[in-house]
A = this chain, B = another copy of it.
Amino acid sequence: MSKFWSDMAKRCAPYIPGEQINRANVIKLNTNENPYGPSPKVIQAIQKESEQALNLYPSPTADKLREDIAAFHSLSKENVFVGNGSDEVLAFSFMAFFDKNKTIRYPAISYSFYPVYAKLFDIPTEEIALQDNFTIPVEAFSQSEGGVIFPNPNAPTSIYMELDAVKKILDNNPDRIVIVDEAYIDFATESAVSLIHMYENLLVIQTMSKSRSLAGLRVGFALGHPDLIEGLTRIKDSMNSYTIDRLALVGAEAAIADVDYFNETTEKIIRTREWTIVEMEKRGFTVLPSQTNFIFATHPNQDAGELYAVLKEKDILIRYFKIPAIDNHIRITIGTDEQMRVFFKTLDTIL
Contacts and interface: CB of A to CB of B under 8 A. Distances in A.
A88 B4 contact: no
Protomer copies? 2
A28 interface: yes
Given A13-B238, A84-B243, A4 B227 contact: yes
Contacts of A5: 96-97, 227, 231, 234
Given A234-B12, A243-B88, A6 B96 contact: yes
A46 B50 contact: yes
Interface in A194-253: 200-201, 209, 213-218, 227-228, 230-231, 233-248, 251
Interface in A62-113: 84-85, 87-88, 91, 95-100
B239 A6 contact: no
B9 A96 contact: yes
B54 A217 contact: yes
A213 B57 CA distance: 10
Nearest to A98: B6
Interface string A1-24: 011111111001111110010000
Contacts of A87: 239-242
A245 B231 contact: no
A184 B234 CA distance: 27
Contact of A55 (B16, B34, B88, B244): B34
Contacts of A117: 238-239
A50 B59 contact: no
Interface of A: 2-9, 12-17, 20, 28, 31, 33-38, 42-43, 46-47, 50-51, 53-60, 84-85, 87-88, 91, 95-100, 116-117, 119-120, 175-177, 200-201, 209, 213-218, 227-228, 230-231, 233-248, 251
Given A5-B227, A9-B97, A87-B239, 16 more contacts: A4-B227, A5-B97, A9-B234, A14-B236, A20-B59, A33-B56, A37-B54, A38-B54, A47-B47, A53-B216, A55-B216, A58-B215, A91-B239, A217-B246, A217-B247, A218-B242
